[in-house]
Structure 1
């Protein structure tokens, strides 16, 4: 009997969080460009730094989520904590990147900005993003499992489902990953 599937590694989860943040950044900037300038091309932009920034930030939020949930912290309070953390993280990474003239954002034109690196106008969007990140991204990512014994070309991968086995018989929900 094959060993049970194992949770994703920290690096795998970081990668998923980085890609999620990168995608959301591009979609947010595209939507912003449409709302502000009515640009039907929806040009979304970001920086390669966003991968490192979002991946690490969300991985830390994952650890906060597990700790706060274990202490039965209410969801709205957790999201407030995540939002505050996001401001601290955005300010810290922005401050570091400005030392190298590499900070891709500048909130100087917002009324309630601090050093152009963070702005209070983004409190509600960050709060909503933290709620969606906990409920959709982190919770589902933590449910993913890898079947380490699965090999490409396994007969269970053959098309049509005729060769498909049930999960406990070496097959997988989608070949290699299983969601609890």
Structure 2
């Protein structure tokens, strides 16, 4: 049996970034539907979301590995949610310095500087549970095969799928 190795940190970061990007588009589409009853589902995000989600989820992965045997899942999800608020505020504050912050929560009742809002606490808490239980745990199980066998073609077959005729 061929040996396998875990995904590299860069590979996991990429998967987390794509996952976060996709979830951002889906969440904004669903939010717009609920708030404005928009059947077009125009989900939006920013390229910055790739870095933001990929990096944050890689950090949460480290938290998960450290905390999984030390505290229960509700406590871990609360910690991840607090981290999410810190990360969202920090990255938003930095991006705002360059007029590049793609979100503005100033229209919400419980926002802080337009960069974070308490109205998203429950969605972030639910997302943290899904992130740990589905995304991070399954990503950590993924493996690369070190040695992949060469594909064996049937006799007379060529690599492009055509059979040689004599």
TM-score, normalised relative to structure 1: 0.82
How does 1:1-180 map onto structure 2 within 5 Å?
2=2, 4-71=3-70, 73-150=71-148, 154-155=151-152
Q: Give how far 1:127 is off.
A: 0.3
What is the alpha-carbon distance in structure 1 between the residues aligned to residue 94 and residue 136 of structure 2? 27
| Post-superposition CA distance 1:110-133 (Å, at most 9, x none) | 111000000011111000000000
What is the alpha-carbon distance in structure 2 between the residues aligned to residue 140 and residue 65 of structure 1? 13
Q: Give how far 1:33 is off.
A: 1.2
What is the alpha-carbon distance in structure 2 between the residues aligned to residue 109 and residue 120 of structure 1? 12
Q: Give how far 1:35 is off.
A: 1.0
Where 2:83 maps in the other structure, the secondary structure is helix
TM-score, normalised relative to structure 2: 0.89
Q: RMSD between aligned alpha carbons?
A: 1.4
Greater gyration radius? 2
| Post-superposition CA distance 1:87-126 (Å, at most 9, x none) | 0000000000000000000000111100000001111100
Q: Give how far 1:50 is off.
A: 0.2
What is the alpha-carbon distance in structure 2 between the residues aligned to residue 37 and residue 70 of structure 1? 43
Following TM superposition, the consecutive aligned residue runs of length 4 or more in structure 1 with deviations greater than 6 angstroms are none
Q: Give how far 1:148 is off.
A: 2.1
